[in-house]
Amino acid sequence: MGKPKYENPTSTYPYRIPKRLNILSVPRKYIIDTGEGMPALTPRGVRKSALNSVLSDRVNDAAWPYIRRFLLIKRMYKNKFSQERLERIDRMIEATNVTCYSKLANCVIDLKKQDTKDLKKKRGWTESEWKKHMDYIGQIAGPRKEFRPPPVKRGERKPLDLLMPRIRQLSLFPEFKWYRRLSKEAWYRDPVKVPPNALKYVISERVKKLATPRAIPQAD
């Protein structure tokens, strides 16, 4: 990145300011200014620049109320509103269905199916439905089943007289092993003591030659 470019101080702004900040500080064209640095407002308190702005699709979709509110209003004032107002509410529900927010919330409804549900009359149960219902009631009204675990399989049983010899044997104190030092064992070999065969060893000429240190030539 290059060095930022600065603009020199002026009579209106006696400070050094970067050129980019000076460009960003200029108000946009669609903002109507009163000349005092504040936006111009209508008698109702709305910005005049807001009335001239172009509404985006995302903001337009987010401005619609929830479908649940429309349904509550339609249900509450179904007998009080005229047919024209109810149709207007239906058109608003259809417009809300199209928005991405309703699809993401999974609350899209079909007005045609909704109307058919309202027109359906409640009908009684048939004999087959009553029979299924009573069979289910008789099934759940019975005593609860107890699922006990299966019995544990044990070995062959013996009388106590046959088990007493083994019980007496287990009740005796064990005979502990007599531990001795390692130096007292027959297989022990003292690491400090020199073996007797090593004292009788006679070194050979070859070993003497290998044991002689190598002569390193000295640099002149």
Point out which residues pair with 41 in neighbouring strands.
47
Provide the pLDDT for residue 22. 80
**Residue 194 pLDDT > 60:** yes
Q: Which of 62-66, 109-113, 163-167 has the lowest mean pLDDT?
A: 109-113
Spatial separation of the C-alpha atoms in residues 213 and 210, rounded to whole Å? 8
Q: How confident is the model at residue 119 (pLDDT cuts 50, 70, 90)?
A: very low
Provide the pLDDT for residue 220. 61
| Three-state secondary structure call for residue 39 | strand
Q: Which of 36-45, 158-167, 185-194 has the lowest mean pLDDT?
A: 36-45
Provide the pLDDT for residue 28. 65
Spatial separation of the C-alpha atoms in residues 131 and 129, rounded to whole Å? 5
Q: How far is CA 53 from the centre of its chain?
A: 41
Point out which residues pair with 39 in neighbouring strands.
33
Spatial separation of the C-alpha atoms in residues 27 and 19, rounded to whole Å? 15
Contact 43, 52 (CB under 8 A): no
Provide the pLDDT for residue 116. 45
Contact 94, 111 (CB under 8 A): yes
| Three-state secondary structure call for residue 17 | strand
What does residue 146 show for φ and ψ, rounded to 5 degrees? -100, 115
Provide the pLDDT for residue 48. 76
Spatial separation of the C-alpha atoms in residues 167 and 158, rounded to whole Å? 13
Average pLDDT over the chain reads: 80
Contact 15, 7 (CB under 8 A): no
Nearest to 91 by CA among 118, 63, 111: 111
Provide the pLDDT for residue 13. 79
Token reading at 153: 């399989």
Within 10 angstroms of residue 105's Cβ, the number of other Cβ atoms is: 12
**Residue 131 pLDDT > 70:** yes
Contact 18, 4 (CB under 8 A): yes
